[in-house]
Structure formats: structure tokens, C-alpha cells
Chain A
Amino acid sequence: MMILKLSDGYYCKADDNFIYEELEKRISDTLHLRKDSFAEFYTKRIFQAFFQYARDLKKEYLTYYGQEYDSFADYLYKKELMELEHIKILNLSERQTLFKLNINLSSYNADSLIEYEDNGIDILNQALEEIGL
């Protein structure tokens, strides 16, 4: 599972059975954060900001556009207007989906964590790796 910045926005590559609630459940134990602490509260708040209004593009494709487009990659290119180069970089497998993150819809400032510093996105990706979904 990984967050990426692709020209026009932020995306997250994940297994297609990913459930955000499961990520939240694992945060305290896997990241060694005391329950109900400041650190736990803010770690959850940050991930919530990233995923609260995220669109599961694979789910949308399968639900509404499966017959209209030849493949998920075709859908990403023609409907979501993603660059072919980016679709190639994503290298999505059959069992993976792509979330389009809408960080600014849920948080005034969470994007500053990844836009203000080069390593911000690495911190979150390392956390996602430790959470192991």
C-alpha cells in the first residue's frame, strides 16, 4: 500500500479488499502508540484526512463503467484522464485498486504534511508499510 503524487493529485495504491476501518484499528499496536494518547489521536486524524473522501476508482469502474471501458487501465486513461506513463508507473495488479485522495475536502492543513517537506510522504508510506495492509 502506497501513497503517490501524480501530476494532478495524490493517489493510494492498495489491495482491492482494503477497508479503512481496518487501518485505523491497527494504528496503535503497529505504530507503538498509547491508546487515547495525543500521538494516536493525531496519527488517526491525519490518515482520516487522507482517506475520508478518497474515491475507490476500481470500485467505481466495476460498478458503473465495466462495460464501457475495456479494462481498468483503459478507464483510468479515458475517464480519469490519467497519463499513460503514470498508469505504467502504478503497475497495478489484478487484485489492486487505486484510491484518488481528496485531502482538501476533509482537512484544511493535512496536505501541508506532504507538500511542505520532501520526506512527508515517506513517513506516511513507512507507516502504511508497518501497518501492513
Chain B
Amino acid sequence: MKIRQDFVTNSSSTSFIISMKDDLNKERFLKDIGIEGPSSVSRLFEELYEAVEQNKQDIIEYMKESRTSYRSVAEFLQTEHYDEETVKTIEKLLAENRKVYYGNLRSDGYSAAEVYFCSESFLICEDNLYFNGKIGGW
């Protein structure tokens, strides 16, 4: 059980977009982000993957379930303050029939990695993995 020992402020969440060339799974994710063998720090990145896995939703489904009705993915992403380059990239990935997931990392999340990466700003844009946490920079 995790117990916060310092003061607790309002929690925040920041969004991410992730898409893999093949189905999203932990082994592939770890390999694609650069873990090439047994590593003590892999636990940290496993926790990041687990947070993504727990909080992700197919972006199209996410839009459908949203209270706001969006006419397109582009409109949704623009509303979420993503830039034009990101919008184009996501449209391209969807046109290639790749699964694109959207979700949030929370500052009161289940793991230290989720809390840490929640306030980082990052982008991986490679053939096998697209992982956008650019909106995450506080």
C-alpha cells in the first residue's frame, strides 16, 4: 500500500497518445523504448507501460463516449491542444489502420512512474512506436 507522507494537493492528469505498429504489449514496448536486456531500471518503464495499459482507450471509442460530439479526430485533438503536426501524424496512423490509443496519466496514479511521467513532456515518433506525452509538460 502506498501512503503519501507529505501534503496532498489537487491531483492533475495529463494526456498521452500511443500507437504501435503491432499489437501493444509490454515486451514490445520495452524493446521499442530501448531496453535491450535485463536491467534494474526496466521496472520503472514497466510501471509506465502498466499505467498506459490501464488508462488507455481506443481514440475513436474515447471520442464516441465523450460528452462532446466531435466531427473528426482532428477536431478532437485540436480541442485537446495538440499541434497540427500531431494531428497529421495521428490521421496518417489511422489511415494505415493502426490502432491509436488515447489516455491520461495521473499525478495521484498507482505508481511512481505514472506520477513522474505525468509531469514530463516527451515524444517518441518511430516506425514501430508512436508515443506522445507532449501535453504532459507542466
| Interface residue ranges, A against B (CB under 8 Å) | 31-34, 37-40, 42-43, 108-110, 112-120, 123, 126-127, 129-130
Contacts and interface: CB of A to CB of B under 8 A. Distances in A.
A123 B119 contact: no
Given A112-B112, A114-B112, A116-B4, A32 B138 contact: no
Main secondary structure, interface of A, reads: helix
A108 B34 contact: no
Given A116-B4, A126-B40, A33 B120 contact: no
Interface string B1-29: 01011100000000000000000000000
B48 to A, nearest CB: 9
Name the residue in B5, B112, B119 with the highest tally of chain A Cβ atoms < 10 Å from its Cβ: B112
Task: Bin chain B's interface residue count.
Answer: 20 to 34
B70 interface: no
A18 to B, nearest CB: 19
Contacts of A114: 112
B42 to A, nearest CB: 8
Contacts of B118: 109
Top 7 closest pairs, chain A to chain B, by CB: A37-B34, A32-B37, A34-B34, A39-B34, A126-B40, A116-B112, A117-B112
Contacts of B111: 116-117
Contacts of B116: 109-110, 112-113
A120 B33 CA distance: 20
B34 A113 contact: no
